[in-house]
Amino acid sequence: MQQNYQDAMAMVRKFSKPDLFLTFTCNPSWSEILNSMEGVQRPEDRPDIIVRVFNMKLKELLEDICKHGIFGTVLAYIYVIEFQKRGLPHAHILLTLDSESKIRAKDDIDQFVCAELPDPCTDLRLFQIVTKCMVHGPCGVIY
């Protein structure tokens, strides 16, 4: 853990403070996990599969961010993986963007963040995903 801290501080010295903080959480209902279960197995019975699928999806996310530039040009990034109470992995990711990609005003934030529910008449599937995975109360999921 000390080495991670030192790496992060070296990154800040070289590239300046991070511009974005992301959290990426494993979903035990991902099809890749569920399709790998045999018989009556549940995802929590197979932490090896959970971690393998999480790492695969984290790699894809970092590729979208760094190679495809969904937030702009990334100069540097660092992440740490932690495990939640139920054993599910999640990653905390810090991104430092180049000067052209930096967020300077509230309108810049609106390009990346939306705090509205999708219209179920326009995109029912997106509405279902957002209400299932992103909407929660102070003590957990709202049903």
Answer whether residue 135 shows pLDDT above 80.
Answer: no
| Global confidence as pTM | 0.82
Give me the pLDDT at residue 133, please. Answer: 80
Band of pLDDT at residue 101, cut at 50, 70 and 90:
very high
Residue environment code for 106-133, b if the CB has 16+ CB neighbours within 10 A, otherwise e:
eeeeeeeeeeeebeeeeeeeeeeebeee
Q: Is residue 124 part of a domain?
A: no
Band of pLDDT at residue 137, cut at 50, 70 and 90:
low
Total tally of structural domains belonging to the chain: 1
Contact 89, 54 (CB under 8 A): yes
In percent, how much of the chain has pLDDT > 90? 70
- 43, with CB counted inside 10 A (0-12, 13-18, 19+), is buried
Q: Is residue 141 part of a domain?
A: no
* Eight-class DSSP state of 83: E
Q: Is residue 4 part of a domain?
A: yes
- What range does the domain containing 66 cover? 1-104
The mean pLDDT value for 108-136 works out to 87
Q: Is residue 110 part of a domain?
A: no
Answer whether residue 33 shows pLDDT above 90.
Answer: yes
Task: Return the H-helix or E-strand segment holding 49.
Answer: helix 47-66
Band of pLDDT at residue 141, cut at 50, 70 and 90:
low
Q: Is residue 119 part of a domain?
A: no
Q: Is residue 130 part of a domain?
A: no
